[in-house]
Each structure stands twice: as C-alpha cells, then as structure tokens.
Amino acid sequence: MLDVGSGQAAHPRCDLVVDKYVADDFERGKPLDLAKPLVVADGHSLPFGDDTFAYVIASHVLEHATDVPRFASELQRVAAAGFVQVPSREAELTFGWPFHPWLIDLRDDTLVFRPRGDQSAPLGRVFHEAFAESTLFALWFGANRERWHHTLHWKAGFDVQVDGESAAPATARLDVDLTLAALPKLGAIGPEGALRQSLRCPADGGTLSDGTASLTCTRCGSSYPVARGGVPLLLAEAAS
Ligand SMILES: [Zn+2]
C-alpha cells in the first residue's frame, strides 16, 4: 500500500510514503510523519511502474495539484484501487487554505475542480482557531464530516473534471539541498528490498541502477540523489 502526500499522518498500514516537501511544512502545518519508508517525489510523476501497488491512499493531497488529471491518472496507473479524499467547496469557503487552487464538488462520482479565483474564506482564521482550540467545535466538525470532505473509494478508476486553470496564491518551496540535509536529521528511512526494486525514473519509467549516493536511470541517464539514511529524491528538480 502506497500513501501519497500523507503529510503529518501516514496511514498505519501503508508500506511506503511519497511526499515532495520535507523541509517546508507550509502546506501541512505540522512536521512530516517519518515512521514509514519515504521516497521524495511528485504526485504528478510517481516514480513507480504500472500496477506496482494493490492500493494507494491520497488523503487531502489532490486539491494541491496543479495538473489534476495528470495527478489523478498517476494514482490510477500505479495502483489497482485506492482512496481519495479532498476538502469540499463548503470547507474551502469556510476554512480556506491559501495553497489550494481549487473549489471541488462531487457530481455522480466525478470530482469537479473549478479555479477558486478570488473566492476566499473571509472568516477562515476564526474557524481554524476554533478547530484548534475548542473540543466542542471539533466534535461538531466531526459530526458533519460529510459536509467538509468528498471521499472516493475507487476500484476500476475514478473520474475528474477540471474547468479551467488555477494556481495557488502561495505554495511550499522545494529546496533540494535543504531536503538532502534535513532527511537524515529527521531520521527518515528509505525503501529497501522489493520496495527499492519497484522504484522507476519519474521522467520515463526506466529502471534505476543501484547506488548509495545516487540512482541513475538506465534509459535516460538521469541521476537522482539519495540522502543519508537511504531516502531517494526521484524528482525532476533533483535530477542531474
Ligand atoms: Zn529516465
């Protein structure tokens, strides 16, 4: 089982986590959960072959995507089934997160993404504070969870519709050197054995030669760094 962008809470049953932002917690609010083996990669170009996993979890990550159809098709390419959860339009206009470019509706099992434009959550700060400080508020939020989230359990696949283009007003920053320095300090561990063998070049799906400091694609020759502790950075931004 793969967990993509699980952030501060990797699923207890997952075997591997993919996350892009290690050193910058901006889109997460809390430090990354590093209990599971990690690969630093981008959901738009997952570094695995087709049908590598039985199941993929994408919980509160697809709403961060810049190219939603590509991210969604990558999830469906690498796994046979999965779970997707995103904040609803109502949550977005009640709480508001500046790093989400979209307002999302669920129509007949299709997730419909529309640019958020200049629609914001004017009282968002009040709601975020209430959520953090009030047990009663958290209970009310939990009791109305279906209003705040759209949830899909998919098997053969799932559909997304995107009406227009959008970019978030503010996003986390990826700094390759900072990431390489942070991973060993945080005690992050990389994949081993069969998981390690499942890794592919994110650019072209080529197999990767073995190496402790870097992995090199046998197809395009791109080389990807591996942090001390064994976490590979399989990202276009880190390739040389
Ligand atoms: Zn390659």
Q: Write the pLDDT tens digit of every residue in 44-76.
A: 999 999 999 999 999 988 988 889 999 999 999
Distance 51 CA to ligand 1 centre (A): 19
Q: Tell me how far apart the alpha carbons of residues 149 and 126 are, in angstroms, rounded to a whole number.
A: 19
What percent of the chain has a predicted confidence (pLDDT) above 90? 61
Q: Tell me how far apart the alpha carbons of residues 42 and 234 are, in angstroms, rounded to a whole number.
A: 8
Distance 204 CA to ligand 1 centre (A): 5
- pLDDT(81) > 80: yes
DSSP bridge partners of 82 = 56, 154
Instruction: Enumerate the H helices of the chain as residue ranges.
Output: 68-78, 89-94, 124-133, 135-143, 145-148, 176-185, 193-197
Q: What is the predicted pLDDT for the residue at 27?
A: 62
CA 20, 23, 25, 26 torsion-angle sign:
negative
Query: Which of 25-29, 70-74, 80-84, 204-208 shows the lowest mean pLDDT across its residues?
Result: 25-29
Residue 98 — pLDDT band, cuts 50, 70, 90? confident
Residues near ion ligand 1 (CB < 5 Å) are 201, 203-204, 206, 217, 219-220, 222
Question: 15 exposed, middle or buried (CB, 10 Å; 0-12, 13-18, 19+)?
Answer: middle
Mean pLDDT computed over every residue of the chain: 90
Q: Rounded to a whole number, what is the largest CA-CA distance in the chain?
A: 56
Distance 240 CA to ligand 1 centre (A): 11
Distance 46 CA to ligand 1 centre (A): 12
DSSP bridge partners of 152 = 84
Query: Which of 117-121, 174-178, 182-186 shows the lowest mean pLDDT across its residues?
Result: 117-121
Buried-state track 26-38, b at ≥16 Cβ within 10 A, e below 16? ebbeeebbbebbb
Q: What is the predicted pLDDT for the residue at 153?
A: 95
Lookup: tokens for 165: 């283009």
Q: Tell me how far apart the alpha carbons of residues 211 and 146 are, in angstroms, rounded to a whole number.
A: 46
